[in-house]
Structure 1
């Protein structure tokens, strides 16, 4: 009886996982990410990956995550209790069978295209009505189309933009599919006269627009940034100490 109870309960767990995979997908989360994060939340393992920010930064996904974490904790307790009472004849599986049937029924309904379309619209409506745009992750605010991209461009002395303004380097920028959001200079953020401001070495320019357009127009500066960042990553850790030892 206890073994039958465990089998039924594992069916409930598998069904709950599939239900939440579908719900996460309806919030525009990719299938492979949804499945991994659902299992991670339920088991309490692996959720600290970078992809977890996609869950934490989305209000509807956060609510689903709270249920999964709670359900996972309860499930572990139930499984341990079931194993410890494996030889007990007092275990009642009737309620668990009802729960399993209900979960399977919900999963079947969620697989219907009409239900998925309705829930997707409901989630979108609730986001627009109840959530401030500042609470949404960058991906949901800016990167709504496949060609959209955010570029944080670091400026070095070799960059074509160094000591020049964007107007001087790209004369017809207003006809192109990108905008400058701000220029970061140390602790200061410049938000006015962005296209006429002379760019200095060490500045960071945050750009938003069509990925292909930005890659074409800032190709030289992007290549220099990637080369410089690559050099920083591969500098030997003891190089500085070696140079200090050689100096008188």
Structure 2
């Protein structure tokens, strides 16, 4: 009987550890299904090579969670399960095998039913999420995934030089939104930070801008100089963005027509 209890305790701890890790990974912006798969993969040492795995190892908080999962998985929980099973089989008399295997089967089946119960899962998820939010610091998110940085869209830092077209102007004068470029934040030369700048925000020389937009537009903006060619490039970028918006509007109309 002690061997069976030890086995159930080890299995329960394993499931609890992977559930906590799954919720922690979800808090960083990973989908719940991907988080659950990556947590179980890391804990068991399976090491599946997937696209989600690359997103995990390139993210500082996710990498830390996976590291702890690997440590706990290799430190003893899986080993304890194996050793308990071996002890359970080798020490039992042949006439007790059937009874013990039945107890083991029924216990694991009951544990599986509890874990798959929706009400229990909702309660456990809320409890784990509350604990992680109150006792840990998991504010680092996967911004590349949350901002849908796909295709040409990027977040890029741009250092404003004195001769740049951007230098010494207010944001409303630049009309960057009409080019499809958004200024997410500004880091000043003295390391002060301006978050979510508005139209009256002044762009100074040696400011570091955090920009969101198409890669080609951001690279062109980075090379734009404060002269007539810069103004021409700005007007060209506005026309290009307007053309893209018109194409997107046409695609939306066609998609609506196809649905009807």
TM-score interval, smaller chain: 0.3 to 0.5
Hey, which of these two has a bigger chunk of helix by percent? Answer: 2
Give the TM-score of the pair, scaled to structure 1.
Answer: 0.48
Provide the TM-score with structure 2 as the length reference: 0.46
